[in-house]
Amino acid sequence: MDELKKRAKELLETGAVKVVIGYEQGTGNKTRAAFIQKPEEVSRLIFDSRCVLNLAVYLNKPEVKQIGKPAIVAPIPVLRAIIQLASENQFTDDNLLILGITPESKFVEFNKLADVETYLDQHLIEIEARDKEILEKLDKMSVEERWNFWVEELSPCFKCYACRAACPMCYCHRCTVEMNQPQWISVPSHQLGNIEWHFMRAMHLAGRCVDCNACANACPIAIPLNLLTKKTLEEIKVSFGGYKPTLTGGHIMSTFKPNDKENFIR
Amino acid sequence: MSTDKRLVKKTSLDKLFDSIKQQGKTIFAPKLKNGKVNYEQVERFSDIATDYIQTTQSAKVVAFPRTEKILDYTKSKEGIAVVEIDLQSISEVVIWGVRPCDAAGFLPLSAIFNWDTKDIIYNTRLEKTTLIGFSCNKCDESCFCTSVAGNPGGTEGSDMMLTQLGDNGDYLAEIITEKGKTIVDKNPDLFETAGEIDKQKYLADVPVKFNQTEIKDKLANFFENEIWLQQSLRCIGCGACASVCPTCACFDIQDEEHGKRGSRVRCWDNCGLSIFTLHTSGHNPREYQSQRWRQRILHKFSYMPERLSVYGCSGCGRCSRACPVDMNIIEHLTAIQEA
């Protein structure tokens, strides 16, 4: 951590960046995002296993952009999100500096996005055994049982949209749920509205979700939303050979070849 | 009426629950699910959670559900036929285990729903609700009822307040309203006479963190201040805080139409969402999160006390606990007071 702090301090002192987005101690045992703008404040930076918020979510926030060029403290899920966002033209090498954190909590600075992309080849997305087990259990259910599982899990949702707000990939200025001409998604948080919302969101993240769990961590009532996106990751493995964030990669849900088979349309 | 004090034996608590249940009332009580405690419809006394500080969501759902159909309509050549919500169909509900801050939250909520047009649906639901409060014998770092004129044994808003006298002790029952008295009248055997009992020593010690009057005065000339941006930099603009808040009352009206038939539905809304103030033109008077955060604080600690003579906060701390990015309201209000 000392190395990270030292580098963050240098970057702010030399004016190479205007803000370092990192983690700091929060209330009780919580950690939170820190926006360090003065070199003398780098001592606030921390990193440990509690730092699970995906900081990439702040890179598109207007107020954060207005501060100026940021450096971002980036453990693996943040690195993945950065590459995915870069592939969606959200930023380039010129407007972002990346202070990487390895799974061993070591500091590693990346000079350019391409280096992050290469680095991530050693850290492919792997769904945790515990979650795999749940997905397998869901797979084995009958359609009716699975439907009931999701009705039960999603029915308490009151649509605070914390899942969307915490997701770095949910940066649309106007989300589908907010479209009202026509209205695609039922707004009330009744059974249909909740199911439409969460299934739609999972589909929009298919082939983009970096499996950071930010959505499920953000949910105030602990709905296991990430099971939906994990399932899309599994499906993509079967149908498209898997997903990894790449700078030039085509996007699974928005690329096609003229000779693609269309035998899934029945 | 002056507060009548009785004693309920610890061993009689389940009998009281069963008796209320047998009278055909729907009972909502704190229940554990997915590691979170929330008010749920409870059938058995043993299903009630005991070890928790506060439910994740507030009790307001009983009078102000997150989504409720207020009318059905059918369009035809003759016009539009409307069938309004049947108020008679609203059932009698008892909320068991309401914390004092949750019960107190119904005061600002009622003030909002009655400041101009009286909201018949909300009022009917609340009239049919009996609140059985339980004093707090413990608190956490998010609790601040004592900073907003409440206290861990406060009876305001409750119909009956139970305070456990020690870790394994019996309960002091304070009968506060006619609704509370009805419960006693129907179960005379369960409510014994209580001697002089000072409940104070059994209550949690919730430290005072700020002075809300001072904050209100400060906010009168605080609209343009850099603190709003500083504090809200980490806010990601979701509606978790408003959704769990016992006093947040904003709602949206949605028409759900299927062909010529439809329903008009009232749904919770959140001032933290960017779409909340988005105009049809595309202009948004609260374009930035800092402006939305300012609105949230000003509404609760300046506009409401000014216009409705009641603060829009009961100090339950739910917003801080539910916030995915640790927007700690005590910390922010204290900073405003000190600014």
Q: In angstroms, rounded to a whole number, what is the distance separating the alpha carbons of residues A266 and A261?
A: 12
Query: How many domains does chain B divide into?
Result: 1
User: By the 8 A CB rule, do B314 and B106 touch?
Assistant: no
CA count, 13 A, side-chain hemisphere, B220:
9
Residue of B nearest to A162 (CA): B238
Residue of A nearest to B243 (CA): A160
Residue of B nearest to A194 (CA): B67
Residues B324, A27: C-beta atoms closer than 8 Å: no
Q: In angstroms, rounded to a whole number, what is the distance separating the alpha carbons of residues B173 and B126?
A: 22
Q: What is the pLDDT of residue A248?
A: 87
User: ipTM higher than 0.85?
Assistant: yes
Tell me the per-residue pLDDT of B111-140, one tens digit each, with 9 for 90 and over.
999 999 999 999 999 999 999 999 999 999
Residues A61, B236: C-beta atoms closer than 8 Å: yes
Distance from the B226 Cα atom to the nearest Cα atom in chain A, whole angstroms: 12
Please spell the DSSP secondary structure of A34-71, one letter per residue.
EEE-SGGGGGG-B-STT--S-GGGGGG-HHHHHH--EE
Expressed as residue numbers, the domain containing B268 is 4-338
Q: What is the pLDDT of residue A181?
A: 82
User: By the 8 A CB rule, do B206 and B146 touch?
Assistant: yes
pLDDT beyond 60 at B1: no
Residues B233, A63: C-beta atoms closer than 8 Å: yes
Q: In angstroms, rounded to a whole number, what is the distance separating the alpha carbons of residues B140 and A222?
A: 20
Please spell the DSSP secondary structure of B111-128, one letter per residue.
HHHTSSS--HHHHHHHHT
Residues B325, A33: C-beta atoms closer than 8 Å: yes
Q: Which of B38, B141, B273 is the closest to A221 by Cβ? A: B38
Neighbouring CB atoms inside 10 A of B142's CB total 21
Amino acid identity, residue B100? P
A28 touches chain B (CB under 8 A): yes
Distance from the A241 Cα atom to the nearest Cα atom in chain B, whole angstroms: 34
Q: What is the pLDDT of residue B2?
A: 62
User: By the 8 A CB rule, do B28 and B8 touch?
Assistant: no
Task: Give, as one character, the DSSP assignment of residue B277.
Answer: G
Question: In which band, very low, low, confident or very high, does the pLDDT at B330 lie, cut at 50, 70 and 90?
Answer: very high
A57 touches chain B (CB under 8 A): yes
Q: Which of B38, B239, B328 is the closest to A160 by Cβ? A: B239
Residues A190, B67: C-beta atoms closer than 8 Å: yes
The counts of H helices and E strands in chain A are: 10, 5
Q: What's the rounded mean pLDDT across residues B158-164?
A: 97
Mean pLDDT for each consecutive 10-residue tract of chain A (266 residues)? Answer: 94 97 96 98 96 97 96 98 95 92 95 96 95 97 96 95 97 90 90 95 95 96 96 92 88 82 74
